[in-house]
Structure 1
Amino acid sequence: MLKGKACVNCRRRKIKCDGEKPVCSQCARSNGSFEDCEYPGGGPTQTQILEERISHVQSRIHQLENPSEIISVPLHHPYDPASIANFDFAPNRSWSAPSHSRRLPTTRSPMTTPSPVSRSPALRSISTATLTHIQEPPPDVMQLVADAFYHHCPRFGFFLNIERFHKSFLLQFPVGHPARPSAALINAVFLWGTHLSPTLAETYDERAFLRNTLHYLSKDLSSSHPQKVLHGIQAEVLLSYYYLKNGKVLEGNYHANAAVSLSLSAGLHRIRTPGTSNIFQGNIRPSNPALPSPTDGIEEGERIDAFWAVLVLNNYWVAIQESHLMFYDLQNVEVDTPWPMDSTEYELHLLPQESSGTIKNFLENTSIEGMSITALHAKAAVLLEQATVLRTHGKKPASCSEALIQLDSLIDQFKSNFPLLDRLNSRAPGRETLLITQMMAHVATIKLHQPFSDGHKHSRDKSLFSAQSIAGLTRDMMPTRALQIDPILGVLWTSACEVIMQEMSRSTANHGQWMPLLQVMLSQMTKFSAGSVLMKFLVTRLQRKFTTTTTVW
């Protein structure tokens, strides 16, 4: 290659560099012993860009903690690409400070309280005055919390092996003991458990668990807990979903980015990279020094599931805000980690010996791997993110025809190979995840084609068919309360409603055809809005924008 074009690592070691991007062959073969592969003179490095994003989110949280310095927070409005609007879940008032930045009353039953530790402006606001020692609930109450949590946890990114987690969760050791989950994760589980159970909320203060979760996040990472990294990622994921459900966008942004940052720094995107397979058998060293070798297939499976849970969360945020500005572009990170499997497949050691280019091969349609329910969900999240990015580029069909056609074909193929939901028992495991997954694929089609639907009949027809399909799935499946927790559901319904409402605005002659489909989705959104600030915001936005359909509500 040309002189002076080698990456920083190869130049420092004076070895031949092939100049491949984002990672050259020498760095790829280093199995984590080299630093990030970066090229001089190419502007900010990927690491610098990601650090800047985290810094930006931290500064915005700081502004929220000091309301005298700011009146409102302008964010991208994802449902009106033609204009910039405030993505604010309380449209009639300015943003308030995050709940954990206010001084809260002493709790009735808090969980633990060591000295405060600071990782972000949000955490620096937590003082010893607001953290008091909390006794854990008795075993029977802990079981109730666990039951409430496990019933809904697939909807908010819980990726750990439930059987193993449950055993350690109920152990009668103090919080922080290495045999138990990390302190932040225990508090995060109690946070969600009390949030989901009105009975528990009458006795235990949800806000206390939130404060303690935030307090322990950074403290755990500097501890000697054997699972501090993986449990830290899990706690960040749970917090991000919690904030999103409760309409706290900036806080949710921050914890989503923290989860991705921890995952990448731990090398969870490079599991089973060529030269690092079978690491739990001890014959090959791990691909990254941040984590010890997994003890068995289940533990390695947890790490694989962790990466894909974080990717799904990241892509949810990209789809909601239609921007990579505050988020990682994980599709352009070299991902070798295999698609997630069912827990029994991990136990049977059915992982491939080696894995490389997982997302790249999927997008290029050169791989048929990954058919578990979790893998299908992750693939749909990738497709949704890709369609969102193409949509927000604002290009006309002629200038992005190749990329659009290729992605459109991949989405169609994905949907054609999808399991038939009507053949699954209503209590079948994973049925709700499959419902969400299929809706995500249809919304990927909508995001791809709706910008061109006014001038292109093909795009209009595909958008309408996908919206009809989402309405049909909603009518036939009758979503349960468990789905109410999944924040992406409101975004999916909103996309479908907008397509149908746009079609109704073109002509009043076909209102009778579209109104029943619209009613199915809007009635579910209204029903679920009672427990979700995000859903309530989306319903209100639709009401304001489409005044001709207000009788539906």
Structure 2
Amino acid sequence: MTLAPSSLAKGQACLDCRRRKIKCDGVRPICGPCYRAQRYEDCEFGSTLNSKTPSRMQRIENDIALVEHRIMDLQIHSSLPLQTLRRDHSGRNGVQTNSTQTQVLQIALETIVARAEEIGFFLHLPKFRSLCFGTAGSRERPPSALTDSICLWAAVISPSESLRKPENKFLARAVQASTTISASSHRLKILYGIQTEILLCQYFLHKGRLVEAQYHLSIAVSFAVVGKLAHIGSTGSQFTFRDSIERGEYIIGYWTVVALDGIWSSMLNFPSHFGSESILNADTPWPLEMDTYERNPPIFPPMNTVRAFMENVPNEKEPSRLSVLAKAAILLQKADCISREWQPNMSSRDSAAYFQRFSELNERIRTFRVNSPNTLAGYPPAFKPRVILAHSVAHVATLQLNRIFMANAQCRELALASCKSIVWTIHSADWKSMAHIDPIIGSIWSTTAGMLFEEITRIQTVPGAAAVVADLRNGYDEIVLSVSHFSKDSAFMQFQLTQLCGN
């Protein structure tokens, strides 16, 4: 913590103390009054009267407002006009009766099970089913925005024309109803809000509609921030859970958002709403597999979860699939941030400090890759896409960090080794037997192919390099074929294929 001055200049108090009209001591990162009141997440200094730096919540709100304006511009020219999103969705105007809606939702839940991890559905399915089809009018019943989002994905996935046909209707209803969750009095509105927005942002990415995808991810992040989900289990936290399953749902929901934010910000050049430094303060425990929460596992005290991970402190015997993915995403985001910090005109002192951080992160990524499960064997088909994504994210983190120094032989070797590891992952995945995969992996694989293409171009005229060039071409071709395979299912993957074919 930094020491506070004896008397604060006007506007130097933290935002929360100013809102509560109490005296602030100015201690950072958490002032005394906020620390004693256990208002850790509310204590922010980024928006004082003398500062031009917005607070984290203000950055999120600004990003959301910007994307909302862009969405409005798109809707003016869209085949789904804005008026469509304002239609009544209570059951009138041709929408199904309650009994039909129940039947459709039952079918939809069965339809998405096989792709639940891929599309971001993380809730405990048996419990969710009982809440959906339990007592009518129950305050625990999931909101229509969430059930419509599930039906929307079922319409995308289902081979049944009768379920696929109302896709636009489900989309309109889900998007419109999603705007009402935050204002509701539902006990689980944070949890259900995150789940709804994740399903919607994944849908829009699948469709290649990146503006809307970014918008709905922003809303998911805002739910996580407002709900203070980075500090589940912290001393003095106000969380009360009905059971260990509900606790697990919140933990899994939080890390799902963290993983998406880290991967998308790095691979799609979206603004990160958490940031690699902010996420270091998270002490919510790493997620377990959902069936572990069914067994009421012991609750351990908070442990500076992310900071301990970055310092390579061992804390998990058997990491879950989501835990591995979230860690890989954090490393990727950190690699992206450090690569952007490099300036050719740095002073000797700054340059030395930079390369110290650079080397430490390279080593941390290496140890993470070595210690992570290194096989794709044994995973059921429903779990395989997430494992492939986690492997790909971990390897592309090395590529992202080292590619700006390709003139350096060691950095080039590390970058190319990570590319070959991704090609090995693709080959080992037996992708021809898979029908679907998370579309964000298309961006990772395209980045990898781009790196291979650059290296092929660089050495193809070098004497004696024919065997190396042939090996690189085989890797490049494997990526193109795999992206082509999955592009039949996703507009975003189709776009990535178009980019590859332009090389």
Q: What TM bracket, shorter-length normalisation?
A: 0.7 to 0.9
Q: Number of matched residues?
A: 476
* Residues 323, 231 of structure 1: alpha-carbon distance in 2 compared, 3 angstrom cutoff: closer
Matches within 5 A, 1:411-450: 411-422=365-376, 424-427=377-380, 430-450=383-403
1:159 is aligned to 122
Aligned to 1:219, what secondary structure does the other structure show? Answer: coil
Distance 1:203 1:503 in 2: 44
How large is the Cα RMSD of the aligned pairs?
Answer: 2.9
2:292 equivalent to 1:329:
no
* Residues 138, 51 of structure 1: alpha-carbon distance in 2 compared, 3 angstrom cutoff: closer
From 214, 227, 239, give the equivalent of 2:200: 239
Question: Match for 2:431: what amino acid?
Answer: P
From 275, 300, 303, give the equivalent of 1:353: 300
1:80 is aligned to none
Q: TM-score, normalised by structure 2?
A: 0.86
1:44 is aligned to 53
User: Deviation per CA, 1:504-537, whole angstroms, max 9, x where unpaired?
Assistant: 1012233322222222111110111111111111
Question: Match for 1:433: what amino acid?
Answer: R
Displacement after TM superposition at 1:42 (Å): 2.9
Paired residues of 2:399 and 2:418 also in contact (CA < 8 A): yes
Distance 2:79 2:363 in 1: 43
Displacement after TM superposition at 1:169 (Å): 3.1
User: Deviation per CA, 1:224-267, whole angstroms, max 9, x where unpaired?
Assistant: 43322211211111000100110111111111001100111011
Q: What runs of 5+ residues in structure 1 fail to find an aligned partner?
A: 68-96, 107-111, 116-127, 277-285, 288-292, 547-553
* Residues 440, 98 of structure 1: alpha-carbon distance in 2 compared, 3 angstrom cutoff: farther
1:101 is aligned to 82
Question: Match for 2:457: what amino acid?
Answer: S
2:340 equivalent to 1:387:
no
1:256 is aligned to 217
Paired residues of 1:65 and 1:101 also in contact (CA < 8 A): yes
Matches within 5 A, 1:108-507: 113-114=89-90, 132-135=94-97, 137=100, 142-171=105-134, 173=136, 177-201=138-162, 204-276=165-237, 286-287=238-239, 293-324=240-271, 327-329=273-275, 331-333=277-279, 334-369=281-316, 371-395=319-343, 398=351, 400-422=354-376, 424-427=377-380, 430-453=383-406, 455-479=407-431, 484-507=436-459
Question: Match for 1:407: what amino acid?
Answer: L
1:518 is aligned to 476
Q: What runs of 5+ residues in structure 2 fail to find an aligned partner?
A: 461-465
Displacement after TM superposition at 1:55 (Å): 1.4
From 76, 94, 102, give the equivalent of 1:66: 76
Q: TM-score, normalised by structure 1?
A: 0.79
Displacement after TM superposition at 1:390 (Å): 2.2
User: Deviation per CA, 1:452-481, whole angstroms, max 9, x where unpaired?
Assistant: 11x111111111111111111111221367
Question: Match for 2:418: what amino acid?
Answer: S
Paired residues of 2:276 and 2:334 also in contact (CA < 8 A): no
Distance 1:182 1:432 in 2: 28
Paired residues of 1:183 and 1:213 also in contact (CA < 8 A): yes
* Residues 525, 209 of structure 1: alpha-carbon distance in 2 compared, 3 angstrom cutoff: same
Paired residues of 2:268 and 2:443 also in contact (CA < 8 A): no
Distance 1:34 1:448 in 2: 30
1:54 is aligned to 64
Paired residues of 1:443 and 1:496 also in contact (CA < 8 A): yes
Distance 2:497 2:340 in 1: 23
Displacement after TM superposition at 1:102 (Å): 6.9
Paired-residue identity, %: 25
Aligned to 1:531, what secondary structure does the other structure show? Answer: coil
User: Deviation per CA, 1:325-355, whole angstroms, max 9, x where unpaired?
Assistant: x744264153221111122432444354321
User: Deviation per CA, 1:129-179, whole angstroms, max 9, x where unpaired?
Assistant: xx7533354766544322221110101221211221123334474xx6534
Distance 2:35 2:121 in 1: 30
* Residues 428, 59 of structure 1: alpha-carbon distance in 2 compared, 3 angstrom cutoff: closer
